Amino acid sequence: DTAVSQTPKYLVTQMGNDKSIKCEQNLGHDTMYWYKQDSKKFLKIMFSYNNKELIINETVPNRFSPKSPDKAHLNLHINSLELGDSAVYFCASSQRRFGGSTDTQYFGPGTRLTVL
């Protein structure tokens, strides 16, 4: 019973291609996130959705476009891939507490993207 799942686990592609990563959570959480982890393990938030509404949109190239069809799913589409996009991408989910404070985040296993 995987709580947060991502597909694919590995993605190897050529520069200029378009690719998507999918994420699903079965925890009943209302908030989902995309993070990028670089080769030095530094974790940077990219986007967050709450009940299908975009609430965090960091300084990310507009080649990256998230989509949340429902509150259990958050997908990430990347256009015109570049070498610098190579990283591990993590999806996470959490439940917003009363008053707006966020609780523990639950992470997926990651998608390792390699752009050649």
Question: Shortest Cβ distance from residue 55 to another protein (Å)?
Answer: 6
28 counts as binding another protein under rule CB under 8 A: no
- The C-alpha atoms of residue 79 and residue 50 are separated, in whole angstroms, by 24
Residue (64 or 90) nearer to another protein, CB = 90
Residue (47 or 64) nearer to another protein, CB = 47
CA angle 87, 80, 13 (to 5 degrees): 55
**Count of chain residues binding another protein (CB under 8 A):** 26
Q: Which residue intervals of 58-104 are DSSP H helices?
A: none
101 counts as binding another protein under rule CB under 8 A: yes
- The C-alpha atoms of residue 44 and residue 34 are separated, in whole angstroms, by 9
108 counts as binding another protein under rule CB under 8 A: yes
Question: Shortest Cβ distance from residue 108 to another protein (Å)?
Answer: 5
- The C-alpha atoms of residue 107 and residue 5 are separated, in whole angstroms, by 8
Q: What is the DSSP letter of 85?
A: G
> Which residues are near another protein by CB under 8 A?
4, 31, 40-43, 45, 48, 50, 55-56, 90, 92, 96, 99-110
